[in-house]
Structure 1
Amino acid sequence: MSDIVFLNEAERNLNTVLTVGTFDGVHAGHRVLINKVVESARERDARSVIVTFDPHPRDIINPGSDGIRLLSTLEERAELLADLDVDEMVVIPFDRDFSLLTSEEFVRDVIWEKIGVSEFVIGYDHHFGRNREGTIETVQNLGNELGFDSRIVSKQEVGSRTVSSTAVRKAIQNDGDMMLAASFLKRNYILNGTVVHGDKRGKHIGFPTANIMPQNSKKIIPKRGVYAVWVRVDGKYHSGMMNIGVRPTFEGEQETLEVNIFDFDENIYGKEVQIQFVDRIRDERNFDGVEQLIEQLNSDKKSSKRILKNRSPHIAKQFK
């Protein structure tokens, strides 16, 4: 996992190549920029740093809204950045006062004075600072004044890999299209959570499940239904299937996330696990009775195993 360093703990080091952004989900478009940072840092024998924010800026700038759903928590983001060989993730606590900084104040007082930079990598269309006034020219002008280089990632370099976090959210939350989401993310969509106690009904019908409480309440939950998934427990990956919904056959009302891990009988209550969503099998349904439900679950299990046979889990570097 890349080191998570909050701004007040950051060590100033001028021999640093960095870029700035929310990078929610670390999708394919983000990766182009991040890879440029890592490549340049290697060429310069410098530190590679991604500067990001928490909470998501939109939650502060538009406080009256319901808030934005996250594709990645801070911990998940750090893990994804580690896979791209980033040295550090510097987190800026985003609040109202910070949102009022001008772009010049941000570069001069935060990036230059507190983190340090020898090269600032910026996307061709990136805007930042109060009222999104900062542009490529802002970075270039301040680089000339303070003594750091700027590197522009052009539209041509991004190419067909241009994708928005909004498009990824729609694929997951509205459509449950995990294959499309994976093509945007260049990996399976992940959800980290804690195993909590449920009503144990799955165990009584031969399909014991682990109830998952997401690590972050703002994390995007896929559309209700049944999914083929990989489950990471204690650094090991297991195949399984997950149901997201209210379990209408048992007249449930509250949405739950339940995963049946195949060929697994360990006690994992209280443990942190990671779910990797591979494909959506079907909608949630109301069955006429338990026998019909069991028949469908057996079919779901076969479908999941067939899907997972050809789709490996994304194995994070710290668990290789």
Structure 2
Amino acid sequence: MKIFNHISECKNLKNPVLTLGMFDGIHIGHQAIIRQLNEIAEKENGESVLLTFDPHPRVVLGKAADDLQLLTTLNEKIELLENSGLENLILHPFTKVFANLSAEDFVEELLVNEIGIHTIVIGYDHHFGKNRQGNFEQLNEFSKKYNFQVVKIEEVKSDGNHISSTQIRNALIQGNVEFANEGLGRNYSLTGKVIHGDKLGRTLGFPTANLETERFKLIPGNGVYIVKAFLKDEVFKGLLSIGTRPTVTNSNEKRAEVYLMDFDREIYGETLKIEVLHKIRDDQKFDSLQDLVKQMNLDKNFAEQYQI
């Protein structure tokens, strides 16, 4: 997959078959679009192209950017797209000037004049251009004026449920990991560097790795989860605790701490990837450390029986 950092770099693509959007999560709906994109590109003797934007529009426009929660970091998105068979990825800079382009100016100046699109493939509910005013109907009109084809992808469902990045985010926040993983077509994952904590877990018999994740990466709702952990070439079963640790502190700081089962090594500074499989229980405050340890042992026993 070729990666471009600006639309202007894409002048020599052959019969570009393009889709566009943030594609956060690369969920099963996104995957259906990319499959169609690749199939049309092969049929038309062209190249498949995904146009996305960096940084996220909400960061640039200041629209509740502090509350932004992404299913995929940029690196995760790139890796998933490489594995999808996509041929070209454009990471176009999102600026306030760019945001003010009308739908037609966006199509004419960038998609037609710069990229020279042959076909555009979009989801049934996609909007684009200033204030998201552009839609499928407008694209159809523009296609006649500027001589390109438009293909609409209909809604993708899983077990009768509508699938979208928003639905998956909400499911993860609510702890409904199974629904989220079904919609993603894979297990939701977190990747971070292991950093020093207060080492309380060690004194309780449950040493944990504190994860430092990227800004804006969505952390699932507070609770205890069963996870699969990847440390270089090794795979472990583990327990992920997300929350403010109400039994031991009054802090509101949310932490993600991983207890790796059958593991006893120092891994500070190492990169740990975890796949979230199942929520066991909510985060809760216990009357004593003894009660907390008792519950942690119950969590561990439950996890030992869980097939990963």
**Which TM-score band applies after superposition, normalised by the shorter structure?**
0.7 to 0.9
Asked whether the 8 Å contact 2:8–2:114 carries over to 1, the reply is: no
Farther off after superposition, 282-291 or 187-196: 282-291
Asked whether the 8 Å contact 1:244–1:256 carries over to 2, the reply is: yes
- What per-residue deviation string (whole Å, max 9, x for no partner) do you get for residues 240-268 of structure 1? 11111122232251221100112233433
- What per-residue deviation string (whole Å, max 9, x for no partner) do you get for residues 73-112 of structure 1? 1111122223322223211222211110112222222223
Counterpart in the other structure of 1:126: 126
1:291 aligns with 2:290: yes
Counterpart in the other structure of 2:75: 75
Asked whether the 8 Å contact 1:249–1:287 carries over to 2, the reply is: yes
Q: In 1, Cα distance between the equivalents of 2:93 and 2:118?
A: 23
Q: TM (normalized to structure 1)?
A: 0.85
Counterpart in the other structure of 2:31: 31
Counterpart in the other structure of 1:183: 182
Deviation at 1:24, TM superposition (A): 1.3
- What per-residue deviation string (whole Å, max 9, x for no partner) do you get for residues 153-207 of structure 1? 245x77956323222221112x111112112222221222211111222223322
Counterpart in the other structure of 2:197: 198
1:228 aligns with 2:230: no
- What per-residue deviation string (whole Å, max 9, x for no partner) do you get for residues 137-163 of structure 1? 4434444454433222245x7795632
- 1:227 is aligned with what amino acid? Y
- 1:231 is aligned with what amino acid? A
For the structure 1 residues 180 and 92, does the alpha-carbon distance in structure 2 shift closer, same or farther, using more than 3 Å as the test? same
Identify unmatched segments of 5+ residues in structure 1: 312-320
How many residues are aligned here? 305
Deviation at 1:235, TM superposition (A): 4.6
Farther off after superposition, 85-94 or 277-286: 85-94
Q: In 1, Cα distance between the equivalents of 2:233 and 2:115?
A: 33
Asked whether the 8 Å contact 1:23–1:52 carries over to 2, the reply is: yes
- What per-residue deviation string (whole Å, max 9, x for no partner) do you get for residues 259-284 of structure 1? 01122334332222222111111112
Tell me the secondary structure at the aligned position of residue 250 of structure 1.
coil
1:162 aligns with 2:149: no
Q: 1:245 aligns with which of 237, 243, 246?
A: 243
- 2:231 is aligned with what amino acid? V
For the structure 1 residues 10 and 281, does the alpha-carbon distance in structure 2 shift closer, same or farther, using more than 3 Å as the test? farther
Farther off after superposition, 284-293 or 46-55: 284-293
- 2:201 is aligned with what amino acid? G
- What per-residue deviation string (whole Å, max 9, x for no partner) do you get for residues 269-309 of structure 1? 222222211111111222333333332222212222333x1
Tell me the secondary structure at the aligned position of residue 275 of structure 2.
strand
Q: In 2, Cα distance between the equivalents of 1:10 and 1:167?
A: 34
Q: In 1, Cα distance between the equivalents of 2:297 and 2:226?
A: 13
For the structure 1 residues 263 and 252, does the alpha-carbon distance in structure 2 shift closer, same or farther, using more than 3 Å as the test? farther
Tell me the secondary structure at the aligned position of residue 247 of structure 2.
helix
For the structure 1 residues 64 and 230, does the alpha-carbon distance in structure 2 shift closer, same or farther, using more than 3 Å as the test? closer
For the structure 1 residues 158 and 143, does the alpha-carbon distance in structure 2 shift closer, same or farther, using more than 3 Å as the test? farther
Farther off after superposition, 102-111 or 254-263: 102-111
Deviation at 1:61, TM superposition (A): 4.2
Asked whether the 8 Å contact 1:32–1:158 carries over to 2, the reply is: no
Matches within 5 A, 1:232-311: 232-253=230-251, 254-307=253-306, 309=307, 311=308
Identify unmatched segments of 5+ residues in structure 2: none
Q: TM (normalized to structure 2)?
A: 0.88
1:91 aligns with 2:91: yes
Displaced runs of 4 or more, over 6 A = none
Tell me the secondary structure at the aligned position of residue 23 of structure 1.
coil
Tell me the secondary structure at the aligned position of residue 85 of structure 1.
coil
Q: In 1, Cα distance between the equivalents of 2:196 and 2:2?
A: 32
- 1:104 is aligned with what amino acid? E
Counterpart in the other structure of 1:14: 14
Q: In 1, Cα distance between the equivalents of 2:38 and 2:133?
A: 27
- What per-residue deviation string (whole Å, max 9, x for no partner) do you get for residues 194-224 of structure 1? 1111122222332221100112x21221111
Deviation at 1:230, TM superposition (A): 1.3
Counterpart in the other structure of 1:318: none
Asked whether the 8 Å contact 1:6–1:91 carries over to 2, the reply is: yes
Deviation at 1:121, TM superposition (A): 0.8
Asked whether the 8 Å contact 2:121–2:153 carries over to 1, the reply is: yes
- What's the RMSD between the two structures over aligned residues? 2.5
